[in-house]
Amino acid sequence: MAKKVVRLLLCILLLLLPIFAFSQRKITMVTEEWPPFRINDPTEPSGFVGIDIDVVTYLERELGVTIEIQRHPWARALEMMKSGLIDCISGYAMTSERQIFSEYVPTPYYSVRPVFYALKGAGASIKTYDDLYGKVIGQSKNSAYFEPYNSDTRMLKKDLVTEVQIIQMAALGRIDLAIGTDPNISWDIAKLGLRDKLEQTSFIPTVKTDLYIAFSRKSSALDLVPLIDKAIAKMLVNGTFAKIIQKYR
């Protein structure tokens, strides 16, 4: 009888070992402000609330890991992914260049679409992609929007640090157009009280950009990729993500 009890306890212990192992793990995630996915909130330990933060909380609970969020400008975040100074990143568009140093979780958790904004009254004149030529377009440095725009060297692109800065310069007429992703840019325009200053152009790219969580290929936590993939797929199917999105509409 005693031997059976010992065997049973050993079996239970072996089953629990993976859980104990993951509960001891801490991985680091780099990100930057990008409402409504990451909204500044100094009262929170991560410094953010938002869609991505709720997704991170869900993954921590599902996997039994701790995800420490570090805040850095986007250009710096990409360098940290390249060098392996950070484990992972959220709100990440897939590009061939990034795939060289990034291991993407296969299932995207959301999709955004690129949009252009102009001063009120000027949006209707931008009807096609070709109408963008000759316009100074404010864009977020190192962001990926859509092809052929990303690789179009004939466009007059002005790199700026944040989407808020892009919107403010467009409202002041210092650039002709602002490019961003929806719902992010519309969230920022409303928050800044600039809906009466800016309008969306008639040209709306038909493409969408999937958002992923990705790991640095130099991270020691690459074994979590398939587990996070399963957790994200579960979140999308069971309605958890729909509830998260609804909070920020």
Best CATH choice for the domain 113-200 from the list 3.30.930.10, 3.40.190.10, 3.40.250.10, 3.40.50.2300: 3.40.190.10
Question: How high is the pLDDT of residue 5?
Answer: 37
- Range with the lowest mean pLDDT among 30-44, 117-131, 225-239? 30-44
Distance of CA 105 to the CA centre of its chain: 13
Q: State pTM to two decimals.
A: 0.72
Confidence of residue 14 (pLDDT cuts 50, 70, 90): very low
Reduced to 3 states (helix: H, G, I; strand: E, B; else coil), residue 69 is: strand
- What Rg value do the Cα atoms of the chain yield, rounded? 21
- Range with the lowest mean pLDDT among 42-46, 48-52, 65-69? 42-46
- Range with the lowest mean pLDDT among 18-22, 27-31, 64-68? 18-22
Cα torsion 32, 38, 39, 40: sign: negative
Element counts in the chain: helices (H) and strands (E) = 8, 12
Question: Which of 129, 124, 134 has its CA nearest to residue 200?
Answer: 124
Tell me the per-residue pLDDT of 144-201, one tens digit each, with 9 for 90 and over.
899 999 999 999 999 998 889 999 999 999 999 999 988 889 889 998 999 999 999 9
CB-count exposure of residue 47 (10 Å: 0-12, 13-18, 19+): middle
- C-alpha distances in Å from residue 209, one per residue of 94, 170, 247: 8, 23, 22
Kind of pairing between the strands at 136-140 and 198-200: unpaired
CATH number of the 14-110+209-247 domain: 3.40.190.10
Domain positions in the chain: 14-110+209-247, 113-200
Distance of CA 185 to the CA centre of its chain: 13
Query: Fold match between 14-110+209-247 and 113-200?
Result: yes
Burial letters for 144-163: b for 16+ Cβ neighbours within 10 Å, e otherwise? Answer: bbbeebbeeeebebbebebb
